[in-house]
Amino acid sequence: MRRIFNLIVVLSITFIWLNTAHAADYQWNKLSMDTDTTVYISANFEQDHSLFSLADKIMYISVDDGKTWNKISTMPVWYVRPENDKNIYTLQGADQNSLSIYKFNPLVQGNWEKLCDAPSGTRLFTVLNNGIVIAVKPYESRSNWEALRLETPGLTWQSTGFNHAGDFLEATPDNLVFTMENGTNIVAKSSNYGITWKDISSSYKLNKLFVSPLYSSDSQLFAIINNSSINISYDRGESWSVRMTGIKGSGYLSCVAFSPNYKLDHTIYAADSEGQLFVSKDNSFKWKPLGVSLEDDNQLNSLIVLPDNKLLAGARKGVYELTTYIPPTQLARSVFVTGKATYTIGQEEWYMDTAPYVDSDRTFVPVRYLAYALGINDADILWDGARQEVTLIKDTTVVKISMGSHTLFVNDQPVTMDVLPQTSDERVFLPARWVAEAFGANVSWDGQNNSVSIEHQK
């Protein structure tokens, strides 16, 4: 048994599934919808499995990864904002002179809740973590735009005296607010909930801003500037550094999206309006093109990444899915079925001395067989009885897990698991998803067959 599994050692786990773009055959395939569409992902996706789309001023929801959509709005929707509080907010109304702000939480029976009426003519808004709402609308002359704020729903909107706001408005988890002044290249920032504003730059045009998933610890912001470059800020937007190494021949840059496993893999995706995709695995220092684009008469509006690293795009002609990530000959796939003492690697079936099981909605797999499925040989499966600690080693990745601890260490970086390792039948069982994803593998659950699949590049 051990000799057979040593043959699997030649499998080389890559960091996620994009180690070499040239080894993949990528293409955008139409998934659903037939009209100009923007897609959004719920911040609670792993709990509510919800995606949202805006098409022809109608809001839709999908709970099957974008394959089918159900209408959830009755009034025209003019603007959509997924916010830091994990709700999704919309600007709704018969026309732009009679608008209200609503929020939608799929975890609360999927109902709209009216937050407040919006000032007539509102174009943009953001809801801060402390509940304050900031809205932007054209000012009296229409050449300038006014910023207003509402401290408590039901009270009166107050002018901030700032009448140079623009068609960009973004807030961070610590309630900083950014806008680009209308008709200028001046970026303004508010550090006191929109009461006052400070000009922080006049040398570039900040089109879109994206908050790092680790913002609370790294303070990093990413931005598309002048529609043509990706930039990073380490000081909450005060200064910016260009990050374009490897992005060549790209047109109008339209969006940035983060891997759901960003804390471990530091993977970021960027796309331009033509559907060209680029990926960085080192926090934007270097990018690789994926050699894919949309058809000539199409246009990419938005990009989202699902937890299994599936990429979806909202485009002029509907919702698209990036397919054929890695040719089957380049992919190693293992399947464990709960309650069954055999598992498969590719087409081969192998025996185990105990069976996987499900506890607390997590699949637990015997540590040795989970390691084999990831291409880890016996010499790199270590057990420290005194410390009650498992160490798994693959290439440059070292994963340590201690019995009785929720903390998993990946190259000494802590990651908090939602379950504890377990012992059963004198065997150590580990949560399959947490361990496999620590090595950059993709994990999926098949509820119909009660099986968990683990895929990694050879």
Residue 237 in contact with residue 189, Cβ under 8 Å? yes
The residue behind tokens 């899915």 is 321
Backbone angles phi, psi at 6, to 5 degrees: -65, -25
Highest mean pLDDT among 7-16, 24-33, 189-198: 189-198
Sorted by where each starts, the structural domains of the chain and their CATH numbers stand as 2-11+329-457 (3.30.457.10), 23-323 (2.130.10.10)
Neighbours of 140 (CB within 10 A): 8
Give the tens place of pLDDT for each residue, 161-178.
Answer: 888 888 789 999 999 999
Provide mean pLDDT across the span 431-448. Answer: 91
Residue 333 in contact with residue 327, Cβ under 8 Å? no
Give the tens place of pLDDT for each residue, 296-324.
Answer: 899 999 999 998 778 999 999 999 999 85
**How far is C-alpha 128 from the chain's CA centre?**
20
Tokens representing 427?
């065997």
Contacts (Cβ under 8 Å, ≥6 apart) of 357: 338, 339, 363, 364, 424, 429
Give the tens place of pLDDT for each residue, 119-172.
Answer: 999 999 999 999 999 999 987 656 678 899 999 888 899 999 888 888 789 999
Short-list 319, 310, 315, 320, CA closest to 297: 315
d(CA 376, CA 390): 13
Neighbours of 13 (CB within 10 A): 20
Neighbours of 216 (CB within 10 A): 11
Which is more confident, 251 or 151? 151
Average pLDDT, the chain: 87
